[in-house]
Amino acid sequence: MTTRKGPFTTTRPFVLASGSPRRQELLAELGLQFTVRPSALEEPKPDADEAPQAYVKRMAELKTLDVAASFPGHIVLGADTIVVLNDQIMGKPKNNEHALEMLMALSGKTHQVMTGFCMVLPDAARITKAVSTDVDMRLSSKDELKAYIATGEPTDKAGAYAIQGIGTFLVTAIRGSYTNVVGLPVAMVVEALTTSGVIAVSNQDRTLF
């Protein structure tokens, strides 16, 4: 169970169906209490002619429903993030050479980072949404990209970079949710959690004002 002081608190048993440290950190910073149970499902490839946004929503649902089956009566939240360049999905790099290929393709261009999230409620109802953020990348030299890959950060990242890490030097601008690029569109997730009664404002001491 993850716990930290923050502006919100959970009102019902809450499970995060993701092993991503970034998603865990984003939720913990809000003060939410949750159990982490990642899905072990193998991620299928996109179907023929499947749009990136439809694919990322499908992946989020698959992972969430997989974990929700073991937690009846709980709220289960899962997510999936992809990088899209010219409507082509970029997954995680297979090796350093593949990472370099990805980063060179992204260099100097604008791409989209899409995160789909799914929330399963105790009555088995589900909420599934997807958020897209445009990301502008600086034109980086091959040597710069090789040096970045040598840090090891791109290894398990979609698109082979992390905007919240060393890879911040690659990004010149974004249009949309920053946390969506990190791995979870926090504002939209909070809205869904609040509307569904999963979280509430924390009753912390407000004697300072």
Give the number of other Cβ atoms within 10 Å of residue 84's Cβ.
20
pTM of the model: 0.92
**CATH 3.40.50.150 applies to domain 8-201:** no
Q: Identify whether 87 is a catalytic site residue.
A: no
Q: What is the DSSP annotation of the chain? A: -B----SEEESS-EEE----HHHHHHHHHTT--BEE----PPPPPPPTT--HHHHHHHHHHHHHHHHHTT-TTSEEEEEEEEEEETTEEE---SSHHHHHHHHHHHTTSEEEEEEEEEEE-TTS-EEEEEEEEEEEE----HHHHHHHHHTTGGGGSGGG--TTTGGGGGEEEEES-HHHHHT--HHHHHHHHHHTTSEEE-----TT-
Q: What is the pLDDT, as a whole number, of residue 43? A: 85
Listed range (30-39, 96-105, 196-205) with the worst mean pLDDT = 196-205
Tens of pLDDT, residue by residue over 125-149, are: 999 999 999 999 999 999 999 999 9
Q: What is the pLDDT, as a whole number, of residue 3? A: 57
Q: What is the pLDDT, as a whole number, of residue 1? A: 52
Mean pLDDT on 187-207:
86
Catalytic annotation, pick one of 80, 87, 123, 136: 80
Q: Where are the domains of the chain?
A: 8-201
In angstroms, rounded to a whole number, what is the distance separating the alpha carbons of residues 157 and 162? 7
Q: What percent of the chain has pLDDT over 70?
A: 95
Q: Quick check: 72 and 15 in contact, CB under 8 A?
A: no
Q: What is the pLDDT, as a whole number, of residue 123? A: 86
